[in-house]
């Protein structure tokens, strides 16, 4: 096993706790599933949210998925003019047997435009 970082992003449908929770949980579930991981494999997760998302913490949604013992932190993304709105980004550090080239970075919905080169 080695330590790898997995990136991902998604777009919430609205600035509500429900929409932020749903988007975060969908993104994390997809990252885990596609990379054959469980919450126990995750060392830590850094979340960023675009400045227009402030109704809830993405980390709170992660705890509901089994990340209660995982260090989680949220931050605000840089407010770049014209950036994709309502965006949640994640960088998860994990224990995995996958090589760098085997890691699947997950970009969902409109966030696929952020990394067309690796989006699912």
| Rounded to 5°, angle at Cα 54 from 46 and 105 | 35
Side by side, the strands of the sheet bearing 87-96 are 72-76, 42-49, 87-96, 2-11, 106-107
89 is catalytic: yes
Per annotation, catalytic residue among 26, 63, 64, 85 = 63
Pairing between β-strand 87-96 and β-strand 42-49 as defined by DSSP bridges = antiparallel
85 is catalytic: no
Per annotation, catalytic residue among 7, 68, 86, 102 = 7
Per annotation, catalytic residue among 18, 40, 64, 74 = 74
d(C-alpha 24, C-alpha 8), whole Å: 10
Per annotation, catalytic residue among 68, 102, 107, 116 = 107
Per annotation, catalytic residue among 40, 64, 85, 89 = 89
Instruction: Say how far residue 92 (Cα) sits from the centre of its chain.
Output: 7
86 is catalytic: no
Pairing between β-strand 42-49 and β-strand 72-76 as defined by DSSP bridges = parallel
116 is catalytic: no
Per annotation, catalytic residue among 30, 40, 68, 77 = 77
Name the residues annotated as catalytic: 7, 63, 74, 77, 89, 107, 115
């Amino acid at each position: 096993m080695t330590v790898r970082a997995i990136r991902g992003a998604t777009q919430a449908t609205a600035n509500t706790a429900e929409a932020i929770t749903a988007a975060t949980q969908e993104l994390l579930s997809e990252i885990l599933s596609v990379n054959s991981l469980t919450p126990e494999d995750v060392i830590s997760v850094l979340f960023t949210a675009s400045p227009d998302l402030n109704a809830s913490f993405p980390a709170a949604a992660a705890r509901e998925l089994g990340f209660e013992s995982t260090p989680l932190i949220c931050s605000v993304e840089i407010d770049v003019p014209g950036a994709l709105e309502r965006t949640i980004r994640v960088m998860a550090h994990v224990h995995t047997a996958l090589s760098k080239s085997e890691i699947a970075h997950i970009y969902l919905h409109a966030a696929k435009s952020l990394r067309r080169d690796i989006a699912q």
